Structure 1
Amino acid sequence: MSARTRRQKAALGCLPPSKSTKRTPSKKRSRSSLKEEDEKENIFLFAPNLIGYFRVVLAFASLYYMPLHPRTCSLLYSVSCLLDALDGYAARYFNQSTTFGAVLDMVTDRCTTSCLIVFLSSAWPRWAIVFQGLICLDLASHYMHMYATLSMGGSDQSHKKVDSSRSWILYQYYHSRVVLFICCALNELFFIGLYLLSFSSPILSPSLLQPVGDAQPSSVQPGNPANPVPSSLFASPWSAGALEMARANKIDSFWPWVITGISAPVMLFKQFVNVVQMVNASRWLAEGDRRTRRANRKK
Protein backbone atom coordinates (compact mmCIF):
# COMPACT_ATOMS: atom_id res chain seq x y z
CA MET A 1 0.00 0.00 0.00
CA SER A 2 1.40 3.40 -0.95
CA ALA A 3 2.07 6.14 1.54
CA ARG A 4 -0.61 8.27 -0.06
CA THR A 5 -3.24 5.56 0.43
CA ARG A 6 -2.24 5.09 4.06
CA ARG A 7 -2.50 8.84 4.64
CA GLN A 8 -5.95 8.95 3.00
CA LYS A 9 -7.23 6.10 5.20
CA ALA A 10 -5.83 7.74 8.31
CA ALA A 11 -7.46 11.02 7.39
CA LEU A 12 -10.76 9.26 6.76
CA GLY A 13 -10.52 7.58 10.14
CA CYS A 14 -9.99 10.92 11.90
CA LEU A 15 -12.91 12.64 10.22
CA PRO A 16 -15.70 13.69 12.61
CA PRO A 17 -19.08 12.01 12.22
CA SER A 18 -21.49 13.45 9.71
CA LYS A 19 -23.72 16.36 10.62
CA SER A 20 -26.82 14.25 10.43
CA THR A 21 -25.56 11.67 12.90
CA LYS A 22 -24.36 14.37 15.26
CA ARG A 23 -27.40 16.66 15.33
CA THR A 24 -30.20 14.14 15.42
CA PRO A 25 -29.58 12.85 18.98
CA SER A 26 -28.96 16.39 20.27
CA LYS A 27 -32.22 17.56 18.72
CA LYS A 28 -34.07 14.73 20.38
CA ARG A 29 -32.43 15.49 23.70
CA SER A 30 -33.13 19.22 23.43
CA ARG A 31 -36.77 18.69 22.54
CA SER A 32 -37.34 16.24 25.36
CA SER A 33 -35.55 18.49 27.85
CA LEU A 34 -37.56 21.50 26.72
CA LYS A 35 -40.75 19.51 27.09
CA GLU A 36 -39.79 18.52 30.62
CA GLU A 37 -38.97 22.12 31.48
CA ASP A 38 -42.32 23.29 30.10
CA GLU A 39 -44.14 20.70 32.20
CA LYS A 40 -42.24 21.74 35.35
CA GLU A 41 -42.85 25.48 34.84
CA ASN A 42 -45.33 26.88 37.34
CA ILE A 43 -46.99 29.86 35.69
CA PHE A 44 -48.67 30.83 38.94
CA LEU A 45 -45.30 31.43 40.61
CA PHE A 46 -43.86 33.71 37.93
CA ALA A 47 -42.47 36.96 39.32
CA PRO A 48 -45.08 39.28 37.68
CA ASN A 49 -47.90 37.04 38.90
CA LEU A 50 -46.52 37.12 42.46
CA ILE A 51 -46.58 40.90 42.23
CA GLY A 52 -50.17 40.62 41.01
CA TYR A 53 -51.14 38.56 44.07
CA PHE A 54 -49.55 41.18 46.32
CA ARG A 55 -51.60 43.84 44.53
CA VAL A 56 -54.75 41.91 45.35
CA VAL A 57 -53.78 41.73 49.03
CA LEU A 58 -53.12 45.48 49.13
CA ALA A 59 -56.42 46.16 47.37
CA PHE A 60 -58.39 44.11 49.91
CA ALA A 61 -56.56 45.87 52.74
CA SER A 62 -57.46 49.27 51.28
CA LEU A 63 -61.11 48.21 51.04
CA TYR A 64 -61.03 47.20 54.70
CA TYR A 65 -59.78 50.64 55.76
CA MET A 66 -61.86 52.57 53.21
CA PRO A 67 -64.91 53.53 55.34
CA LEU A 68 -62.99 54.97 58.32
CA HIS A 69 -59.29 55.36 57.53
CA PRO A 70 -58.85 57.67 54.52
CA ARG A 71 -55.09 58.08 54.89
CA THR A 72 -54.33 54.39 55.31
CA CYS A 73 -56.72 53.43 52.53
CA SER A 74 -55.26 55.97 50.10
CA LEU A 75 -51.72 54.79 50.81
CA LEU A 76 -52.51 51.09 50.30
CA TYR A 77 -54.62 51.77 47.22
CA SER A 78 -51.91 53.96 45.66
CA VAL A 79 -49.18 51.37 46.22
CA SER A 80 -51.38 48.69 44.65
CA CYS A 81 -51.88 50.88 41.58
CA LEU A 82 -48.18 51.72 41.27
CA LEU A 83 -47.27 48.03 41.34
CA ASP A 84 -49.29 47.71 38.14
CA ALA A 85 -46.29 49.16 36.30
CA LEU A 86 -43.80 46.96 38.15
CA ASP A 87 -45.41 43.65 37.19
CA GLY A 88 -45.24 44.61 33.51
CA TYR A 89 -41.56 45.47 33.85
CA ALA A 90 -40.92 42.16 35.64
CA ALA A 91 -42.73 40.24 32.90
CA ARG A 92 -40.48 41.78 30.24
CA TYR A 93 -37.29 41.51 32.30
CA PHE A 94 -37.74 37.82 33.18
CA ASN A 95 -39.44 36.95 29.87
CA GLN A 96 -42.51 35.78 31.79
CA SER A 97 -45.34 37.42 29.90
CA THR A 98 -48.40 35.15 30.14
CA THR A 99 -52.08 35.35 29.28
CA PHE A 100 -52.95 34.51 32.89
CA GLY A 101 -50.85 37.44 34.09
CA ALA A 102 -52.51 39.82 31.64
CA VAL A 103 -55.99 38.73 32.72
CA LEU A 104 -55.04 38.90 36.41
CA ASP A 105 -53.72 42.43 35.90
CA MET A 106 -56.84 43.60 34.11
CA VAL A 107 -59.26 41.96 36.56
CA THR A 108 -57.42 43.49 39.52
CA ASP A 109 -57.57 46.95 37.95
CA ARG A 110 -61.25 46.71 37.14
CA CYS A 111 -62.26 45.33 40.54
CA THR A 112 -60.30 47.83 42.64
CA THR A 113 -61.50 50.82 40.64
CA SER A 114 -65.09 49.59 40.76
CA CYS A 115 -64.96 49.13 44.54
CA LEU A 116 -63.66 52.66 45.04
CA ILE A 117 -66.36 54.11 42.78
CA VAL A 118 -69.00 52.11 44.68
CA PHE A 119 -67.85 53.83 47.86
CA LEU A 120 -68.16 57.21 46.13
CA SER A 121 -71.69 56.27 45.12
CA SER A 122 -72.58 55.67 48.76
CA ALA A 123 -70.81 58.87 49.84
CA TRP A 124 -72.75 60.99 47.33
CA PRO A 125 -76.04 59.22 46.51
CA ARG A 126 -77.17 62.08 44.25
CA TRP A 127 -74.31 61.27 41.87
CA ALA A 128 -74.71 57.52 42.14
CA ILE A 129 -76.03 57.16 38.59
CA VAL A 130 -72.90 58.88 37.22
CA PHE A 131 -70.60 56.60 39.21
CA GLN A 132 -72.62 53.54 38.19
CA GLY A 133 -72.32 54.59 34.55
CA LEU A 134 -68.54 54.88 34.91
CA ILE A 135 -68.36 51.36 36.34
CA CYS A 136 -70.48 49.94 33.53
CA LEU A 137 -68.44 51.73 30.85
CA ASP A 138 -65.14 50.58 32.32
CA LEU A 139 -66.16 46.93 32.65
CA ALA A 140 -67.98 46.70 29.32
CA SER A 141 -65.19 48.41 27.38
CA HIS A 142 -62.35 46.24 28.69
CA TYR A 143 -64.32 42.99 28.57
CA MET A 144 -65.44 43.51 24.98
CA HIS A 145 -61.96 44.62 23.94
CA MET A 146 -60.24 41.57 25.45
CA TYR A 147 -62.90 39.18 24.13
CA ALA A 148 -62.64 40.65 20.62
CA THR A 149 -58.84 40.43 20.74
CA LEU A 150 -58.83 36.78 21.80
CA SER A 151 -61.60 35.66 19.44
CA MET A 152 -60.55 37.65 16.37
CA GLY A 153 -56.82 38.11 16.84
CA GLY A 154 -55.99 34.68 18.25
CA SER A 155 -55.43 33.20 21.68
CA ASP A 156 -51.82 34.39 21.75
CA GLN A 157 -52.72 37.97 20.88
CA SER A 158 -52.29 40.61 23.57
CA HIS A 159 -55.09 43.11 24.14
CA LYS A 160 -52.44 45.86 24.17
CA LYS A 161 -51.35 45.13 20.60
CA VAL A 162 -53.74 47.28 18.62
CA ASP A 163 -53.32 47.82 14.90
CA SER A 164 -53.23 51.48 13.93
CA SER A 165 -55.50 50.73 10.96
CA ARG A 166 -58.30 49.79 13.34
CA SER A 167 -58.04 52.69 15.73
CA TRP A 168 -55.41 55.42 15.76
CA ILE A 169 -56.41 56.55 19.24
CA LEU A 170 -56.17 53.07 20.75
CA TYR A 171 -52.87 52.51 18.97
CA GLN A 172 -51.39 55.66 20.51
CA TYR A 173 -52.91 54.79 23.88
CA TYR A 174 -51.52 51.25 24.09
CA HIS A 175 -48.36 51.69 22.02
CA SER A 176 -46.63 54.13 24.38
CA ARG A 177 -46.01 52.76 27.87
CA VAL A 178 -45.54 56.28 29.19
CA VAL A 179 -48.91 57.45 27.87
CA LEU A 180 -50.63 54.32 29.17
CA PHE A 181 -49.09 54.70 32.63
CA ILE A 182 -49.92 58.41 32.90
CA CYS A 183 -53.53 57.89 31.82
CA CYS A 184 -54.12 54.97 34.18
CA ALA A 185 -52.31 56.60 37.10
CA LEU A 186 -54.08 59.95 36.85
CA ASN A 187 -57.42 58.23 36.32
CA GLU A 188 -56.98 56.39 39.62
CA LEU A 189 -55.64 59.56 41.24
CA PHE A 190 -58.84 61.39 40.31
CA PHE A 191 -61.00 58.90 42.17
CA ILE A 192 -58.60 58.90 45.13
CA GLY A 193 -58.93 62.69 45.22
CA LEU A 194 -62.71 62.43 45.24
CA TYR A 195 -62.46 59.84 48.01
CA LEU A 196 -60.36 62.20 50.15
CA LEU A 197 -62.75 65.08 49.42
CA SER A 198 -65.60 63.03 50.87
CA PHE A 199 -63.73 63.25 54.18
CA SER A 200 -62.50 66.81 53.92
CA SER A 201 -64.68 69.08 51.78
CA PRO A 202 -67.82 70.56 53.36
CA ILE A 203 -68.75 71.80 49.88
CA LEU A 204 -69.22 68.23 48.64
CA SER A 205 -70.09 66.69 52.02
CA PRO A 206 -72.24 69.23 53.94
CA SER A 207 -72.56 66.85 56.88
CA LEU A 208 -68.96 67.70 57.78
CA LEU A 209 -70.29 71.06 59.01
CA GLN A 210 -72.81 69.47 61.33
CA PRO A 211 -71.79 69.60 64.97
CA VAL A 212 -71.22 66.34 66.74
CA GLY A 213 -73.70 66.26 69.57
CA ASP A 214 -75.03 63.72 72.00
CA ALA A 215 -77.77 62.56 69.67
CA GLN A 216 -76.86 59.54 67.65
CA PRO A 217 -78.09 59.33 64.04
CA SER A 218 -80.23 56.44 63.01
CA SER A 219 -77.95 55.26 60.24
CA VAL A 220 -74.29 55.24 59.29
CA GLN A 221 -73.53 56.71 55.89
CA PRO A 222 -70.01 56.07 54.58
CA GLY A 223 -68.33 59.20 53.36
CA ASN A 224 -69.81 61.36 56.11
CA PRO A 225 -67.21 60.85 58.84
CA ALA A 226 -68.63 63.52 61.13
CA ASN A 227 -71.64 61.27 61.72
CA PRO A 228 -72.05 59.15 63.71
CA VAL A 229 -70.22 59.97 66.91
CA PRO A 230 -67.02 57.86 67.03
CA SER A 231 -68.00 56.47 70.43
CA SER A 232 -71.18 55.05 68.93
CA LEU A 233 -69.14 52.82 66.63
CA PHE A 234 -66.16 52.02 68.86
CA ALA A 235 -66.25 50.95 72.47
CA SER A 236 -63.11 52.92 73.26
CA PRO A 237 -62.90 56.55 72.06
CA TRP A 238 -59.11 56.11 71.97
CA SER A 239 -59.19 53.13 69.61
CA ALA A 240 -57.47 53.38 66.25
CA GLY A 241 -60.77 53.55 64.37
CA ALA A 242 -62.23 56.26 66.61
CA LEU A 243 -59.08 58.38 66.43
CA GLU A 244 -58.88 58.10 62.65
CA MET A 245 -62.55 58.96 62.33
CA ALA A 246 -62.07 62.03 64.50
CA ARG A 247 -59.02 63.06 62.46
CA ALA A 248 -61.03 62.73 59.26
CA ASN A 249 -62.86 65.99 60.04
CA LYS A 250 -59.51 67.77 60.23
CA ILE A 251 -58.18 66.67 56.83
CA ASP A 252 -57.22 69.71 54.79
CA SER A 253 -59.11 69.70 51.51
CA PHE A 254 -56.53 71.81 49.63
CA TRP A 255 -54.40 68.96 48.25
CA PRO A 256 -57.38 66.69 47.47
CA TRP A 257 -58.82 69.55 45.41
CA VAL A 258 -55.47 70.00 43.63
CA ILE A 259 -55.19 66.27 42.92
CA THR A 260 -58.74 66.08 41.62
CA GLY A 261 -58.44 69.19 39.49
CA ILE A 262 -55.16 68.17 37.83
CA SER A 263 -56.26 64.61 37.10
CA ALA A 264 -59.81 65.44 35.94
CA PRO A 265 -58.91 66.13 32.26
CA VAL A 266 -56.96 62.88 32.04
CA MET A 267 -59.85 61.00 33.64
CA LEU A 268 -62.23 62.40 31.02
CA PHE A 269 -59.82 61.40 28.26
CA LYS A 270 -59.64 57.90 29.75
CA GLN A 271 -63.44 57.62 29.60
CA PHE A 272 -63.34 58.77 25.98
CA VAL A 273 -60.80 56.03 25.25
CA ASN A 274 -63.14 53.52 26.92
CA VAL A 275 -65.95 54.58 24.59
CA VAL A 276 -63.70 54.30 21.53
CA GLN A 277 -62.45 50.92 22.73
CA MET A 278 -65.97 49.58 23.20
CA VAL A 279 -67.13 50.82 19.78
CA ASN A 280 -64.03 49.43 18.08
CA ALA A 281 -64.45 46.04 19.77
CA SER A 282 -68.12 45.93 18.78
CA ARG A 283 -67.26 46.58 15.13
CA TRP A 284 -64.51 43.96 15.21
CA LEU A 285 -66.89 41.35 16.62
CA ALA A 286 -69.55 42.28 14.05
CA GLU A 287 -66.94 41.87 11.31
CA GLY A 288 -66.25 38.35 12.56
CA ASP A 289 -69.97 37.59 12.61
CA ARG A 290 -70.30 38.67 8.99
CA ARG A 291 -67.42 36.40 7.97
CA THR A 292 -68.97 33.47 9.79
CA ARG A 293 -72.37 34.06 8.16
CA ARG A 294 -70.81 34.28 4.69
CA ALA A 295 -68.89 31.06 5.28
CA ASN A 296 -72.06 29.27 6.44
CA ARG A 297 -74.01 30.42 3.37
CA LYS A 298 -71.34 29.02 1.03
CA LYS A 299 -71.64 25.56 2.55
Structure 2
Amino acid sequence: MLNSVNRKVFLLYPNLIGYARAALLLLSVFAFHVGLLRFAVGSYAVSQLLDAVDGEVARRLGQCSEFGAALDMIIDRVSTIALYFAIAAKSARAGLLIFLLLLGDVGGHWLFMYTELKLGESHHKNSAHLPPGLKHPTSEAMHQKLMIGGNP
Protein backbone atom coordinates (compact mmCIF):
# COMPACT_ATOMS: atom_id res chain seq x y z
CA MET A 1 0.00 0.00 0.00
CA LEU A 2 1.25 3.47 -0.79
CA ASN A 3 1.92 5.78 2.11
CA SER A 4 2.16 9.56 1.81
CA VAL A 5 5.95 9.45 1.30
CA ASN A 6 5.63 6.94 -1.55
CA ARG A 7 2.84 8.99 -3.15
CA LYS A 8 5.04 12.09 -3.24
CA VAL A 9 7.31 10.45 -5.83
CA PHE A 10 4.47 10.73 -8.36
CA LEU A 11 4.49 14.53 -7.99
CA LEU A 12 8.23 15.18 -8.20
CA TYR A 13 9.06 17.78 -10.85
CA PRO A 14 10.93 15.38 -13.16
CA ASN A 15 8.00 12.96 -13.09
CA LEU A 16 5.56 15.77 -13.90
CA ILE A 17 7.77 16.54 -16.90
CA GLY A 18 7.59 12.85 -17.78
CA TYR A 19 3.79 12.94 -17.73
CA ALA A 20 3.91 15.99 -20.03
CA ARG A 21 6.21 14.02 -22.36
CA ALA A 22 3.73 11.14 -22.42
CA ALA A 23 0.81 13.49 -23.11
CA LEU A 24 2.72 15.17 -25.95
CA LEU A 25 3.57 11.77 -27.36
CA LEU A 26 -0.10 10.70 -27.32
CA LEU A 27 -1.02 14.01 -28.93
CA SER A 28 1.61 13.42 -31.60
CA VAL A 29 0.29 9.93 -32.37
CA PHE A 30 -3.27 11.24 -32.62
CA ALA A 31 -2.18 14.16 -34.83
CA PHE A 32 -0.31 11.77 -37.12
CA HIS A 33 -3.36 9.52 -37.34
CA VAL A 34 -5.66 12.37 -38.43
CA GLY A 35 -3.13 13.78 -40.90
CA LEU A 36 -1.80 16.79 -38.99
CA LEU A 37 1.81 15.90 -39.78
CA ARG A 38 3.47 19.20 -38.83
CA PHE A 39 1.67 19.25 -35.50
CA ALA A 40 2.59 15.59 -34.96
CA VAL A 41 6.27 16.29 -35.65
CA GLY A 42 6.23 19.40 -33.46
CA SER A 43 4.66 17.72 -30.45
CA TYR A 44 6.97 14.72 -30.87
CA ALA A 45 10.00 17.05 -30.99
CA VAL A 46 8.94 18.91 -27.84
CA SER A 47 8.45 15.57 -26.09
CA GLN A 48 12.00 14.58 -27.07
CA LEU A 49 13.46 17.89 -25.87
CA LEU A 50 11.70 17.42 -22.54
CA ASP A 51 13.49 14.08 -22.28
CA ALA A 52 16.72 16.00 -21.70
CA VAL A 53 15.03 18.34 -19.25
CA ASP A 54 13.52 15.72 -16.92
CA GLY A 55 16.84 14.05 -16.12
CA GLU A 56 18.61 17.36 -15.65
CA VAL A 57 15.86 18.58 -13.30
CA ALA A 58 15.99 15.31 -11.35
CA ARG A 59 19.74 15.55 -10.81
CA ARG A 60 19.83 19.28 -10.01
CA LEU A 61 16.93 19.09 -7.53
CA GLY A 62 18.01 15.79 -6.01
CA GLN A 63 14.73 14.22 -7.13
CA CYS A 64 16.07 11.08 -8.79
CA SER A 65 13.86 8.06 -8.13
CA GLU A 66 13.48 4.50 -9.34
CA PHE A 67 9.96 5.37 -10.47
CA GLY A 68 11.26 8.34 -12.45
CA ALA A 69 14.01 6.28 -14.08
CA ALA A 70 11.48 3.60 -15.07
CA LEU A 71 9.00 6.22 -16.29
CA ASP A 72 11.70 7.86 -18.40
CA MET A 73 12.80 4.58 -19.95
CA ILE A 74 9.24 3.49 -20.70
CA ILE A 75 8.39 6.81 -22.35
CA ASP A 76 11.65 6.62 -24.34
CA ARG A 77 10.78 3.16 -25.61
CA VAL A 78 7.16 4.04 -26.39
CA SER A 79 8.27 7.17 -28.24
CA THR A 80 10.72 5.14 -30.32
CA ILE A 81 8.01 2.56 -31.05
CA ALA A 82 5.61 5.35 -32.07
CA LEU A 83 8.23 6.72 -34.46
CA TYR A 84 8.82 3.28 -35.96
CA PHE A 85 5.09 2.76 -36.45
CA ALA A 86 4.80 6.15 -38.14
CA ILE A 87 7.56 5.10 -40.54
CA ALA A 88 5.88 1.73 -41.12
CA ALA A 89 2.55 3.45 -41.80
CA LYS A 90 4.18 5.42 -44.60
CA SER A 91 6.17 2.51 -46.03
CA ALA A 92 4.69 -0.99 -45.98
CA ARG A 93 8.00 -2.41 -47.25
CA ALA A 94 9.77 -1.32 -44.06
CA GLY A 95 7.95 -3.90 -41.89
CA LEU A 96 10.79 -6.37 -41.31
CA LEU A 97 13.33 -3.61 -40.73
CA ILE A 98 11.00 -1.92 -38.23
CA PHE A 99 10.48 -5.21 -36.39
CA LEU A 100 14.23 -5.81 -36.14
CA LEU A 101 14.86 -2.25 -34.96
CA LEU A 102 12.17 -2.60 -32.30
CA LEU A 103 13.54 -5.93 -31.16
CA GLY A 104 17.04 -4.51 -30.86
CA ASP A 105 15.90 -1.31 -29.16
CA VAL A 106 13.58 -2.77 -26.54
CA GLY A 107 15.56 -5.97 -26.00
CA GLY A 108 18.89 -4.18 -25.84
CA HIS A 109 17.67 -1.59 -23.34
CA TRP A 110 16.07 -4.22 -21.14
CA LEU A 111 19.19 -6.41 -21.17
CA PHE A 112 21.51 -3.50 -20.44
CA MET A 113 19.29 -2.16 -17.64
CA TYR A 114 18.89 -5.58 -16.04
CA THR A 115 22.65 -6.25 -16.18
CA GLU A 116 23.50 -2.87 -14.67
CA LEU A 117 20.97 -3.31 -11.87
CA LYS A 118 22.43 -6.74 -11.09
CA LEU A 119 25.88 -5.12 -10.96
CA GLY A 120 24.57 -2.56 -8.48
CA GLU A 121 24.42 0.49 -10.75
CA SER A 122 21.74 3.04 -9.93
CA HIS A 123 21.26 4.31 -13.48
CA HIS A 124 22.39 3.16 -16.91
CA LYS A 125 23.80 6.58 -17.82
CA ASN A 126 26.12 6.66 -14.81
CA SER A 127 27.47 3.13 -15.09
CA ALA A 128 31.06 2.60 -14.01
CA HIS A 129 31.12 -0.24 -16.55
CA LEU A 130 30.67 2.06 -19.54
CA PRO A 131 33.67 3.21 -21.58
CA PRO A 132 34.41 6.92 -20.90
CA GLY A 133 33.07 8.08 -24.26
CA LEU A 134 29.64 6.56 -23.57
CA LYS A 135 29.06 8.04 -20.11
CA HIS A 136 26.39 10.70 -19.84
CA PRO A 137 27.69 13.43 -17.51
CA THR A 138 25.05 15.80 -16.15
CA SER A 139 26.82 18.88 -17.46
CA GLU A 140 26.61 17.66 -21.05
CA ALA A 141 23.15 16.03 -21.01
CA MET A 142 21.22 18.98 -22.41
CA HIS A 143 23.86 19.75 -25.03
CA GLN A 144 23.93 16.15 -26.25
CA LYS A 145 20.15 15.98 -26.53
CA LEU A 146 19.93 19.25 -28.42
CA MET A 147 22.74 18.32 -30.77
CA ILE A 148 21.67 14.80 -31.72
CA GLY A 149 17.94 15.00 -30.98
CA GLY A 150 17.65 11.30 -30.12
CA ASN A 151 17.09 9.07 -27.14
CA PRO A 152 20.22 8.40 -25.10
Task: Confirm whether residue 44 of structure 1 aligns to residue 10 of structure 2.
Answer: yes
- Equivalent in 42, 62, 83 of residue 116 of structure 1: 83
Instruction: Say what the alpha-carbon RMSD is for the aligned residues.
Output: 2.3
Once the two structures are superposed, what CA deviation does each residue of 1:44-69 show, in whole Å capped at 9, x if it has no partner?
A: 10010001011111100100011311
Q: Cα distance, 1:135 vs. partner?
A: 1.2
Instruction: Answer 1 or 2: higher relative contact order, Cα 8 Å, separation at least 6.
Output: 2
Corresponding position of 1:181 = 145
Task: Confirm whether residue 150 of structure 1 aligns to residue 111 of structure 2.
Answer: no
Query: Greater Rg, structure 1 or structure 2?
Result: 1
Return the alpha-carbon distance in structure 1 between the equivalents of residues 144 and 102 of structure 2: 19
Other structure's SS at 1:106 match:
helix
Return the alpha-carbon distance in structure 1 between the equivalents of residues 57 and 94 of structure 2: 39
Return the alpha-carbon distance in structure 2 between the equivalents of residues 85 and 98 of structure 1: 16
Corresponding position of 1:236 = none
Q: Cα distance, 1:162 vs. partner?
A: 2.0
Task: Confirm whether residue 89 of structure 1 aligns to residue 56 of structure 2.
Answer: yes
| Runs of at least 5 residues in structure 2 that lack an aligned partner in the other structure | none
Corresponding position of 1:80 = 47
Task: Indicate conservation of the 8 Å contact 2:112/2:124, yes or no.
Answer: yes
Query: Number of aligned pairs?
Result: 145
Task: Indicate conservation of the 8 Å contact 1:48/1:88, yes or no.
Answer: yes
Return the alpha-carbon distance in structure 2 between the equivalents of residues 89 and 58 of structure 1: 19
Return the alpha-carbon distance in structure 2 between the equivalents of residues 143 and 182 of structure 1: 25
Return the alpha-carbon distance in structure 2 between the equivalents of residues 114 and 40 of structure 1: 30
Return the alpha-carbon distance in structure 1 between the equivalents of residues 86 and 50 of structure 2: 22
2:123 maps to amino acid: S
Q: Cα distance, 1:113 vs. partner?
A: 1.1
Q: Cα distance, 1:151 vs. partner?
A: 1.8
| Runs of at least 5 residues in structure 1 that lack an aligned partner in the other structure | 1-37, 189-269, 271-299
Seq. identity, %: 31
State how 1:255-266 maps to structure 2 within 5 Å.
Answer: none
Other structure's SS at 1:153 match:
coil
Quick one: structure 1 residues 102 and 180, their matched pair in 2 at CA, closer, same or farther if it must change by over 3 Å?
Answer: farther
Task: Confirm whether residue 160 of structure 1 aligns to residue 121 of structure 2.
Answer: no
Return the alpha-carbon distance in structure 1 between the equivalents of residues 86 and 7 of structure 2: 40
Q: Cα distance, 1:167 vs. partner?
A: 4.1
Structure 1 length-normalised TM: 0.45
